[in-house]
Amino acid sequence: MVLLILAGLLAAKFAFDLKPRLGLDLQGGISLVYEAHPAKGKVLDPGVLAKTVDKIRERVDKLGVSEPDITTQGTKNVVVQLPGLHDPNRAKDLVGQTAQLQFRLVTESKSEGDALKAGWKASTGDQRQPDKEIILLFQGEKEKVYLKLGPTQLTGDGIKTAVVSVQNGSPQVDFTLTGDATKKFADLTTANVNKQLAIVLDYKVESAPNIKDAITEGKGNISGNFTDQQAKDLAIVINTGALPVELKLLTENDVTATLGRDSLNKGLLAGVIGLAVVALFMLLYYRVLGIVACLGLIVFGGLLYGFICVLNNFWVLTLAGVAGIIVSIGIAGDSSVVFFERLKEDVKAGRSMRSSVETAYKSAFRTIVAADTVSFAAAAILYLFAIGSVKGFALTLGIATIFDVFISYFFVRPLTSLLAERKFFERPAAIGVRLPAASEGGDAG
């Protein structure tokens, strides 16, 4: 039964070309840690933080990053891990943008020089309020200008969809408004023909076109000096909506693909060395029973690898997870040691191998279950309360303890029973047992 399960897992792995899903520390990528700041006078609620994570995940999914990991850390931090992505500036611009999209009428504009003479200064901090007049700097086609903007007339919540198009060889973002916003936009443009309407994103003026005619169809566009990538990212941010909080970048870490591969290779090497040392000890100390233990370890490793591949949508293999696998080798070896030691005690007491296997395993199984229960409980506690890569270690260790009990009962025990039927197993030396000289003489007499 165990071998059929193993064969099925490996067949699925090769048939569908399934591979382990590697974490950022093994394949490289970008890790960003943000601190969430709620609006002034408000308290950061856990539900708001969870909504922030959902918004970021939606943006990153549209970005096309393979298997991103976005989680909360503590009560106000958000950790964004983007495996395979090595453009930190684009990641920061996309993830950290709050997407406060506003449509404001331009009440007055001055060139940069005239604005400075008139004492105009760009609005900052608490001066930036949706319902108040503000001044912002805008890069026009020929020069920089200061724009005095009236209160917000329409927000990004009124946009239904946003897509990228090309107009006169330059990318722009075309948007479609919702039903309610369509009427508001129609009234706004009808009443302000020949005036400028500024489109402001996170208090940066993206464009300030003239209203030539009333726009009643609920469609418009945002144009500017965009690159293709900037236009795509802007469309993503508009489609996913505004973040409920402001994010402040705390740390940024770019793990190169080379460093990731190096970490993976060293982790695999450590695992192979650990497996080889355990196997060698088992063979030297338990002789033929050592072969059973080695076969059990091979099956254990095969099942673990097969499940990592098949469950790659759920199971992310990190460097901490590799450490968990290496530790689990010792756990799997311990179960065989407990069983074999009980078996050797029965043989030393004069019982035959054939009659001792079942009784020895019943006694050993209670110890195996007790030991694995303790390991599983520790792994479960770590997984529930730990953060970051420790979760990967806990997940791998917890699943490995379940596999250990399964393989011990359904593979090692029956295989030992089958081999006990062979005559060479009746020799104590074959399983590493040395009987006292007096006992051997008495038996011969």
Percentage above 70 pLDDT, the chain: 94
pLDDT at 441 over 50: no
Q: For the residues 311-324, what does the mean pLDDT come to?
A: 83
Q: Higher pLDDT residue, 42 or 12?
A: 12
pLDDT tens column, 45-68: 788 888 888 888 887 877 666 667
Q: How big is the CA angle at 56 (ends 381 and 172), to the nearest 5 degrees? A: 165
Give bridge partners of residue 196 from the DSSP assignment.
Answer: 210
- Evaluate if pTM is beyond 0.75: no
CATH 3.30.70.3400 region(s) of the chain? 29-96
Q: Phi, psi (5° rounding) for residue 288?
A: -65, -40
pLDDT tens column, 115-133: 989 999 999 888 888 889 9
List the one residue out of 270, 282, 227, 290 whose CA is nearest residue 89: 227
Q: For the residues 369-391, what does the mean pLDDT come to?
A: 87
CA distances from 9 to 22, 75, 326 (A): 19, 40, 21
Sequential DSSP letters for 278-291: HHHHHHHHHTHHHH
pLDDT tens column, 382-395: 988 876 668 888 98
pLDDT tier, 326 (very low <50, low <70, confident <90, very high otherwise) = confident
Q: For the residues 97-114, what does the mean pLDDT come to?
A: 87
Q: How far apart are CA 104 and CA 149, in angstroms?
A: 6
Q: Which of 112-116, 199-203, 288-292, 339-343 is predicted least confidently? A: 199-203
Fold of 29-96: Alpha-Beta Plaits (3.30.70)
Q: How far apart are CA 316 and CA 331, in angstroms?
A: 21
**Amino acid identity of 71?**
T
Q: Which of 85-94, 160-169, 261-270 is predicted least confidently? A: 85-94
pLDDT tier, 371 (very low <50, low <70, confident <90, very high otherwise) = very high
Cβ atoms 82, 132 nearer than 8 A: no
Q: Which long-range contacts (CB under 8 A, 24 or more apart) does 339-345 make?
A: 339/364, 339/365, 339/368, 339/408, 339/412, 339/413, 339/416, 340/286, 340/289, 340/293, 340/431, 343/289, 343/416, 343/431, 344/431, 344/432, 344/433
Q: Which of 252-261, 298-307, 309-318 is predicted least confidently? A: 252-261
Of the CATH numbers 1.10.1040.10, 1.20.1640.10, 1.10.3210.10, 1.10.8.80, which one belongs to the domain with range 256-439?
1.20.1640.10
pLDDT at 372: 94
Cβ atoms 351, 425 nearer than 8 A: no
CATH 3.30.1360.200 region(s) of the chain? 101-246
Q: For residue 29, what are its two tokens?
A: 């990528």
Averaged confidence pLDDT in the chain: 85
pLDDT at 155: 87
Cβ atoms 141, 134 nearer than 8 A: no
Q: Are strands 246-255 and 29-37 parallel, antiparallel or unpaired?
A: antiparallel
Q: Phi, psi (5° rounding) for residue 114?
A: -65, -35
Beta-carbon contacts of 370 under 8 Å, excluding residues fewer than 6 positions away, are none
pLDDT at 202: 82
Element (H, E) at 72: strand 69-73
Q: For the residues 72-90, what does the mean pLDDT come to?
A: 83
Q: For residue 392, what are its two tokens?
A: 């990967």
Q: Which of 123-127, 327-331, 344-348, 427-431 is predicted least confidently? A: 427-431
Percentage above 90 pLDDT, the chain: 30
Q: How far apart are CA 252 and CA 29, in angstroms?
A: 11
Fold of 101-246: Gyrase A; domain 2 (3.30.1360)
Q: How far is CA 90 from the centre of its chain?
A: 19
